């Protein structure tokens, strides 16, 4: 079986035989505008693209596809997007030594301007050496001795060098084994971008991996879907979160095998709401108008998601009063008292509740579960325990001095005056997938959603919502940023 190893921004990995490997300032183009005046975005500064891909190594086994993938993505960007050859930088095979990679990143530090954007694609071997706890890229001249680690390029150094670029936007893509290790336990969250001017105005530092801490195929289905999305999409702007959704949901005859991750580069200068944008040269589709926020003309309340790195959670504020109608009955799919959607009716009122209501789609967010390597032995998986789980998690996170985690944000949501939201248990999450997502209700995105049920000391249960009958649940590391949809009982 062909496999790959990757580390964010990179496609690199540990290999087997040749046929079965693992990858471990100036406006150059004028204005690019959409129809809606409030969604106009002017391309400012230069658009840089960096490709670092290695098939052949001094000491490591060869790979087959990294260089091919990199060159095909380069050609697509030059033909269909606003990139100039003068801002393309490439290092392939024997040219991609550790010294050359460092020199290239230093060159970018010196040449990029405050309005520039930098896209980086790296493919090749990567490693997460367990004895010395050293996740690293393996350049062309990287050694195999795990003690000497000659000419390895540690993830931490790469992250710091990229964050130090003067450019406003930096977006890394990696497609190799252990790519998720590029984003450590303090990784940030991904956001759904709908306001393009705000996204382009704010500083962004984003990274996408083709999987978590795992192996992926050398013949990369992730890279194939990435290329397909860039080719066929005719939107004026493409954001990393759009790329992620298309890579996950594209229907092909080949399984993706891994679940890609998009996140903010840890401890970087990223600003909330910021995003890299790919500008299409000949767009046929334009962003819809932003929602009118005049309360007199809006029948549906506007949801505002507020987050702060200094608070124990974010909050969603919506006008209205909490009034659970006494005696009223609901069926699955009905709008609930808080403006969400009913997804479970146990048939009677017991323990103070009968129905489960999922929060409105606009209140969704991404966050880590965390309490990584902490054992919360009392979390339960059954229906009816999500609220209890959430309370337990919030109390433990407080003692750990951890903030802005999934359960904390759920516990402080306020939607239409209702403040009784919580992170669903594993079985409650499965009901939401079965009775809403599979029936195309609730406006879920194709992504992984957290539950409040711990699986073990390092992981918690989550579920991939992909809109079909596939209902398998996983347990992933608690420090991963997955989607969250709060629920409530009444």
User: Does 30 score more than 50 pLDDT?
Assistant: no
**Which pLDDT value is given to residue 193?**
58
Burial class, 221, CB count within 10 angstroms (exposed 0-12 / middle 13-18 / buried 19+): buried
Domain ranges within the chain, ordered by starting residue:
42-279, 304-489
User: Does 397 score more than 60 pLDDT?
Assistant: yes
What six digits make up the tokens of 108?
Answer: 């970018």
pTM: 0.57
Distances (CA, A) of 133 to 154, 261, 396: 10, 21, 27
**Which pLDDT value is given to residue 71?**
96
Across 29-33, 47-51, 259-263, least confident range: 29-33
Across 56-60, 270-274, 388-392, 427-431, least confident range: 270-274
What six digits make up the tokens of 153?
Answer: 């390029």
User: Does 278 score more than 60 pLDDT?
Assistant: yes
**Which pLDDT value is given to residue 322?**
56
Tell which wins on pLDDT, 378 or 12.
378
**Model confidence over 404-463: pLDDT tens digits?**
899 999 999 999 899 999 999 999 998 999 899 888 899 888 788 999 999 888 888 888
Q: Which CATH number fits domain 42-279: 3.30.830.10, 3.30.70.260, 3.50.50.60, 3.40.50.1460?
A: 3.40.50.1460
User: Does 121 score more than 80 pLDDT?
Assistant: yes
**Which pLDDT value is given to residue 48?**
98
**Which pLDDT value is given to residue 306?**
36
Distances (CA, A) of 251 to 22, 190, 427: 24, 23, 27
The average pLDDT across 391-408 equals 92
Residue 33 confidence class, pLDDT cut points 50, 70, 90: very low
User: Does 57 score more than 90 pLDDT?
Assistant: yes
Distances (CA, A) of 242 to 56, 66, 190, 269, 311: 33, 23, 11, 22, 28
**Model confidence over 250-269: pLDDT tens digits?**
666 677 777 788 888 888 99
Instruction: Tell me which residue of 200, 158, 213 sits closest to 41, measured CA to CA.
Output: 200
**Model confidence over 300-351: pLDDT tens digits?**
333 333 333 333 433 333 333 455 666 789 999 999 999 999 999 988 888 8
Tell which wins on pLDDT, 314 or 290.
290
Mean pLDDT of the chain: 79
**Which pLDDT value is given to residue 467?**
56
**Which pLDDT value is given to residue 305?**
36
The average pLDDT across 464-481 equals 71
**Model confidence over 181-240: pLDDT tens digits?**
555 433 334 455 557 888 899 999 999 887 655 454 556 788 888 999 999 888 888 999
What is the chain's alpha carbon radius of gyration, rounded to the nearest angstrom?
Answer: 23
User: Does 180 score more than 70 pLDDT?
Assistant: no
Residue 376 confidence class, pLDDT cut points 50, 70, 90: confident
**Which pLDDT value is given to residue 60?**
92
- 242-255: burial string, b at 16+ Cβ within 10 Å, e else: bbbbbbbebeeeee
**Which pLDDT value is given to residue 197?**
84
Strand duo 169-174 + 117-123: pairing: parallel
User: Does 68 score more than 90 pLDDT?
Assistant: yes
Residue 58 confidence class, pLDDT cut points 50, 70, 90: very high
The average pLDDT across 129-156 equals 88
Q: How many percent of the chain have pLDDT more than 90?
A: 43
Residue 244 confidence class, pLDDT cut points 50, 70, 90: confident
Tell which wins on pLDDT, 297 or 213.
213
User: Sheet of 126-129: strands edge to edge?
Assistant: 126-129, 134-137, 153-154
């Amino acid at each position: 079986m062909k496999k790959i190893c990757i580390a964010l921004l990179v496609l690199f990995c540990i290999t087997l035989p040749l046929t079965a490997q693992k990858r471990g300032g100036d406006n150059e183009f004028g204005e690019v505008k959409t129809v809606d005046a409030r969604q106009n975005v002017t391309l400012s500064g230069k658009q840089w693209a960096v490709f670092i891909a290695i098939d052949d190594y001094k000491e490591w086994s060869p790979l087959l596809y990294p260089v091919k993938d990199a060159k095909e993505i380069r050609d697509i960007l030059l033909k269909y997007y606003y990139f100039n050859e003068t801002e393309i930088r490439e290092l392939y095979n024997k040219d991609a030594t550790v010294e050359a990679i460092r020199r290239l990143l230093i060159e970018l530090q010196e040449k990029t301007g405050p309005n520039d954007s930098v896209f980086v694609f790296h493919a090749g071997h990567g490693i997460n050496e367990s004895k010395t706890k050293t996740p690293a890229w393996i350049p062309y001249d990287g050694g195999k001795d795990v003690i000497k680690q000659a000419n390895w390029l540690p993830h931490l150094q790469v992250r710091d060098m990229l964050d130090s670029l003067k450019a406003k936007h930096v977006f890394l893509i990696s497609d190799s084994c252990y790519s998720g290790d590029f984003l450590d336990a303090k990784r940030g969250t991904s956001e759904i971008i709908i306001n393009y001017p705000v996204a382009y105005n704010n500083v962004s530092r984003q990274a996408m991996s083709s999987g978590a801490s795992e192996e992926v195929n050398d013949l990369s289905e992730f890279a194939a879907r990435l290329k397909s999305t860039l080719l066929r999409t005719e939107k004026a702007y493409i954001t990393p979160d759009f790329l992620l959704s298309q890579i996950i949901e594209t229907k092909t005859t080949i399984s993706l095998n891994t679940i890609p991750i998009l996140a903010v580069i840890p401890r970087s200068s990223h600003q909330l709401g910021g995003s890299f944008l790919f500008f299409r040269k000949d767009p046929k589709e334009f962003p819809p108008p932003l929602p009118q926020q005049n309360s007199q003309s809006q029948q549906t309340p506007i949801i505002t998601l507020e987050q702060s790195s200094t608070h124990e959670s974010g909050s969603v504020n919506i006008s209205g009063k909490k009034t659970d109608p006494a005696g009223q009955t609901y069926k699955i799919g009905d709008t609930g008292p808080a403006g969400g959607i009913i997804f479970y009716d146990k048939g009677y009122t017991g323990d103070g509740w009968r129905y489960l209501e999922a929060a409105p789609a606009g209140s969704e967010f991404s966050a880590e579960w965390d309490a990584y390597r902490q054992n919360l032995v009392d979390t339960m998986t059954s229906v009816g325990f999500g609220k209890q789980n959430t309370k337990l998690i919030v109390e433990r996170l407080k003692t750990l001095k951890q903030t802005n985690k999934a359960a904390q944000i759920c516990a402080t949501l306020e939607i239409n005056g209702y403040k009784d939201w919580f992170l669903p248990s594993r079985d409650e999450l499965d009901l939401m997938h079965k009775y809403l997502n599979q029936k195309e209700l609730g406006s879920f995105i194709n992504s992984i959603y957290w539950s409040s049920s711990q699986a073990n000391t390092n992981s918690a249960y989550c579920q991939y919502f992909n809109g079909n009958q596939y209902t398998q649940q996983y347990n992933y590391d608690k420090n991963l940023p997955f989607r969250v949809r709060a629920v409530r009982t009444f």
